[in-house]
Amino acid sequence: MRKFIAILGLIIAFTLSANAQMHDPVKWDTSVEKVSENEFDLVITANIEEGWHLYSQHIPEAPIRPIPTSFKFEEEKKEFELIGKTTEGEGHEEHDSVFEMLIKYFEDQAVFKQRVKVISDKKITIKGVLEFMVCDDTNCLPPTEVDLLFEVGDQKLEVGSLPAGEVGQKKEDKSFLQTTLIPEKSGISESESNSNTVKDLEKKEKSKSLLTLFILSFFAGFAALLTPCVFPMIPMTVSFFTKQSKNKATGIKNAIIYGISIVVLYVLLGTVITAIFGADSLNALSTNVWFNIIFFLLLVIFAISFLGAFEITLPSSWGTKIDSQADRGGLIGIFFMALALAIVSFSCTGPIVGTALVAAAAQGGIAPVISMLGFSLAIALPFALFAAFPGWLNSLPKSGGWLNTVKVVLGFLELALAFKFLSNADLVLQAHWLEREVFIAIWITVFGALALYLFGKIKLPHDSDLDHISVGRLSLGLLVGAFTIYLIPGLWGAPLKLISGFPPPMHYSEAPYGVGFTKLGGGGSTSHDDIPEGAHLGPHDIISFHDYETGMAYAKKVNKPVMLDFTGWACVNCRKMESKVWSDPIVLQTIKNKVVLISLYVDDKRALPENEQYISETSGKKIKTIGNKWSDFQIKKYKANAQPYYVLLDHNGNNLNKHTAYNPDIEEYLAWLNEGITRFRK
């Protein structure tokens, strides 16, 4: 009896541990919202488990990228027509250092809407298919397809109401998500409540990135404050308020109003830009080819202006008219004084404002407003503070050549930043005009010239004569010089992690493995004949097989254990393991020399031959693609569906040790490898 209980316990424990590897983190609900007499919104809501994220529909085109969420609707019967594209919520955007691109994703919940126009007078059925991919910090799941089913055309619904029928109910054995239209009986429907929830969550996500933008814009404003057009205005303006005011309190009050007026003016600029282009349009423009090219040209013009070739100024008549209004006195006069400052200092602040607005445009939403708030606060604060404590004016450094030095340094930085926008356009077009080596060479030239300028070896038009350079300028020159030297090995394939995300990715270059090196090693002397038949070169030039049977046959031939690598082209965490763990010299040599790697890509979209397609025993769905085959194989044999997932096998397909997954600890991963290899040799 005890043996029976013990065996039963082991079976239960094994089952629980196996099932724990199966993930189903997204639940899909559907509903229909009536917009007008014959127009409806098909609403698809994703409820996402904590810790997981769902990718947006809009992922930049690239050879390797995450799988975007996509929707397809059948229009065979011509009973309806789609209006526009499927829309989605704001979500969260950040630069992904693995894929080296800006990626948008959703957490907790995401709402998608597709507007349709019903042509038929009868109730119709609309079918669709969505494909999606989700990841968390350690796993990525293979692309998954879900069938959608909507019943549309109930004329009893009032415009704007939402159905409260069965949402997310599976239809018998099929995977259809069925929505039945029933007139709304209560005040707020479930779909409307979900929509409100997702907005709240997205606001929280957005606030994090907006805070970062605010801080960066504040520092940009501080940089603008230290330019020759703005810095000398501080003592002049504060002295004006303190002398013209009847008492100290009035002077302080007027200076504070002056500072607030500066903030209002710049925030108004951000508001106007958002209103003209629209919150969503700005975000869409950030990945547009022409947007990036235009801003590349603008930043180059700004940079040349900062370097002293010419000044970008507004018409002098504007300043004259504004000055005349400033003489009116009172609150209106103070406001026009602030406007006069903005116009007079435009030659210095304009390029910095433009750069800040470009960064804000990439984020979209109210980002331009937040950006201008941070920028203007940095400029306005000194005027208010020095008015309150005029004695501090004595501690300010005198205006002089150092202000022009600040302006020139900003010019070099703008010039370097400009090429990031040109690189974005080149990557989208895949034109290969600005490959990685060219980009790095340009940055070496720009920062090398900046270092020489700081050391006093280059003199520009507005520079004064230098008998010596200050300690601060020397220190900055040494820092820029060290950074320039750091960039040089990038021409020969160094990863340059300090500037990850700025230059094009490693594969987008003339020599992806460095000048003088081939895929198979240094010197270019090794032949491609060294690759076994049916094998490929994987990450770090590891020879790997993409077919299980072929790899197993080769492992028997060379008498090495097999390392199964369940991976995906779009798997973020798989790339992290390859770049951070597999790149370790000992781990890399172990995988290269002591095991046979079989990498099975679960998102391989290539179709299987018709005679190899089959119905899965686990899901009941037809296995049509190579990716489907390996995903089904992983689920059936290892009761897991997440990637990365690693298994060490002998030649009979038996496990050599416990399976492992995402593990950034190099020592633990190496110990796992050595354990399996040791057991194989016994």
pLDDT, tens only, 259-289: 788 788 778 876 776 666 554 444 445 556 7
Asked whether residue 344 is domain-assigned, the answer is yes
Range from 48-57, 303-312, 384-393 that averages highest in pLDDT? 48-57
Q: Tell whether 183 and 212 lie within a shared domain.
A: no
- Rounded to whole angstroms, the Cα distance separating 103 from 427 reads 15
pLDDT score for 566:
92
547: which 2 tokens? 């077919």
- The larger pLDDT score, comparing residue 544 to residue 187, is at 544
Examine residue 380 and state whether it is found in any structural domain, yes or no: yes
Residues 6+ apart with CB under 8 A from 575: 98, 99
State residue 333's pLDDT score: 66
DSSP-assigned states of every residue in 187-226 = SS-HHHHHHHHHHHHHHHHHHHHHHHHHHHHHHHHHHHHT
461 is a domain residue:
no
227 and 124 part of one domain: no
Mean pLDDT confidence for 631-660:
89
Assess whether 30 and 178 both reside in one domain: yes
The rounded distance, in Å, linking the Cα atoms of 262 and 227 is: 17
> Is residue 565 assigned to a domain?
yes
Neighbour count for residue 132 (Cβ, 10 Å): 21
Residue 499 lies in a domain: no
pLDDT tens for 309-366 read 766 655 555 555 555 554 555 566 667 667 766 665 665 666 666 666 666 655 556 7
Look at residues 153, 187, 221 and tell me which one is the last residue of a structural domain: 187
Domain end marker among 399, 421, 439: 399
Q: Is 672 a member of any domain?
A: yes
**Of 655, 496, 661, 506, residue with least CA distance to 574:** 661
Which is higher by pLDDT, 613 or 140? 613
Q: What is the mean pLDDT of residues 399-403?
A: 61
Q: What is the CATH number of the domain that holds 151?
A: 2.60.40.1250
Identify the residue with better confidence: 191 or 541.
541
Min mean pLDDT across 47-56, 57-66, 390-399, 670-679 is at 390-399
* Predicted confidence (pLDDT) at residue 181 exceeds the cutoff of 80: no
- Mean pLDDT over the full length of the chain: 74
Is the per-residue pLDDT at 381 higher than 80? yes
Residues 661 and 585 in one domain: yes
Residue 92 CA neighbour count, 13 Å, CB half: 21
Average pLDDT over residues 565-572: 81
Write out the residue range of the structural domain in which residue 268 sits.
207-399
* 181 and 218 housed in the same domain: no
Shared domain for 124 and 222, answered yes or no, is no
Instruction: Give the C-alpha separation, 182 to 164, whole Å.
Output: 6
In this structure, the answer to whether residues 228 and 158 fall within a common structural domain is no
Number of H helices, E strands in the chain: 18, 22
73 & 34 share domain = yes
Does pLDDT of 527 surpass 70? Answer: no
Res 552: pLDDT: 93
Query: Which tokens in the block code for residue 375?
Result: 């920028």
User: Which residue's entry shows tokens 């593990």?
Assistant: 663
Q: What is the pTM of this model?
A: 0.46
Q: Which of 399, 422, 438 represents a domain boundary (last residue)? A: 399
Which pLDDT belongs to residue 1? 43
- Give residue 39's pLDDT: 86
Mean pLDDT is highest, among 178-187, 218-227, 381-390, 449-458, for 449-458
Whether residue 560 lies inside any domain: the answer is yes
CA 169 to CA 631: how far, in whole Å?
25
Q: Which of 70-79, 100-109, 141-150, 204-213 has the lowest mean pLDDT?
A: 204-213
Lowest mean pLDDT among 101-115, 386-400, 434-448: 386-400
What pLDDT, on a 0 to 100 scale, did the predictor assign at position 562? Answer: 94
When comparing pLDDT for 511 and 624, which is higher? Answer: 624
Number of domains in the chain: 3
Q: Token digits for 483?
A: 């950074």
Provide, rounded to the nearest whole percent, the portion of the chain with pLDDT above 90. 15
Is the model's pLDDT at 38 over the cut of 50?
A: yes
- 36/166 same-domain check: yes
Q: Are residues 304 and 393 in the same domain?
A: yes
Q: Is residue 535 in some structural domain?
A: yes
Which of the listed ranges 177-181, 219-223, 409-413 does the model predict with the highest average pLDDT?
A: 409-413
Could you give the dihedral angle defined by the CA atoms of residues 264, 266, 267 and 269, in that order, rounded to the nearest 10 degrees? 120
DSSP 327: T
Q: What is the mean pLDDT of residues 292-304?
A: 82
Of residues 24, 106, 94, the one with CA closest to residue 68: 106
Closest CA to 67 of 76, 75, 59, 79: 59
Show the tokens assigned to 51: 């810790």
Q: Which of 276-290, 393-407, 546-560, 630-644 has the lowest mean pLDDT?
A: 276-290
459 vs 186 pLDDT, higher one: 459
Residue 88, classed as helix, strand or coil, is strand
What does each C-alpha distance from 539 to 96, 574, 576, 605 come to in angstroms? Answer: 19, 11, 11, 20
Residues 327, 333, 337, 338, Cα dihedral to 10°: 180
What is the share, in percent, of the chain residues with pLDDT greater than 70?
A: 66
Q: Give the confidence band of 567 by pLDDT, cuts at 50, 70, 90.
A: confident
Do 260 and 306 reside in the same domain of the chain?
Answer: yes
**In terms of domains, do 166 and 219 share one?**
no
For residues 54 and 69, the answer to whether their CB atoms sit within 8 Å is: yes
Q: What is the CATH number of the domain that holds 635?
A: 3.40.30.10
Spatial separation of the C-alpha atoms in residues 198 and 54, rounded to whole Å:
13
